Amino acid sequence: RAQMNPHFIFNCMNSIKSLMQQKEEDKAVTYLTTFSKLLRTILQNSDQREISLYEEIETCKLYTKLESLRFGNKFNYQFTVDETIDLKSITVPALIIQPFIENAIWHGIMPKDEGGTVTVTIEKTNHKICCIIDDDGIGREMAKQNKFKGEPSAHQSKGMHLTQSRIDLDNTLNQRKGSVETIDKTDENGKPAGTRIVLTFMEF
């Protein structure tokens, strides 16, 4: 939880250098500002077992914006949050949502020639808070067979396993009933049409 992917940092710095070399100073400044905010947030939260859902969503927004700046028009993204939810009063394990967004971008959207969309939705149902990460990527089965930019295909399943373990631990320590569900989406012809992750937390 306390680590940031060194390849991610390296790629971010290379992107900033590339923008500077191309004399796109305004874009470089925007990128560097977003990157510094994300890095500060990660470091602030790295020694905390739990953070507010508000902090988690803000971190995810910074991360997704950074990846969007980095890849141009390769993918679109949207965050939709139920305004009746008090995000600051709900605590979740730190960096519990971000890995799923990363998987959606890298293993779902990026292998597609035409790109795609990642949608993050926070909604409330029967005293439960649902965090839904939805993409229209290539789907998990195809992602398992793919290797994109040197990333091992096992990364996605390992990330899922680690996140499930963290939720199980959080449930034990705090007597909560958090869960994670993976839905493989299909189109009208039964072909893979992306992945939907549903993280559920009890509201206190």
At residue 173 the predicted structure's pLDDT band, cuts being 50, 70 and 90, is low
At residue 176 the predicted structure's pLDDT band, cuts being 50, 70 and 90, is low
Average pLDDT, the chain: 81
Kindly report the three-state secondary structure assignment for every residue of 78-127: EEEECCCCCHHHCEEECCCCHHHHHHHHHHHHCCCCCCEEEEEEEEEECC
Give me the pLDDT at residue 15, please.
Answer: 84
| Top-confidence residue, 176 or 194 | 194
Averaged over 46-67, what is the pLDDT? 88
- 23 dihedral zone (left: phi>0; alpha: psi -120 to 50; beta): left
Averaged over 78-95, what is the pLDDT? 90
> Is pLDDT of 154 > 60?
no
Q: Which of 14-18, 76-80, 104-108, 114-118 has the highest mean pLDDT?
A: 76-80
> Is pLDDT of 144 > 90?
no
pTM: 0.81
- Alpha-carbon dihedral sign for residues 13, 18, 23, 24: negative
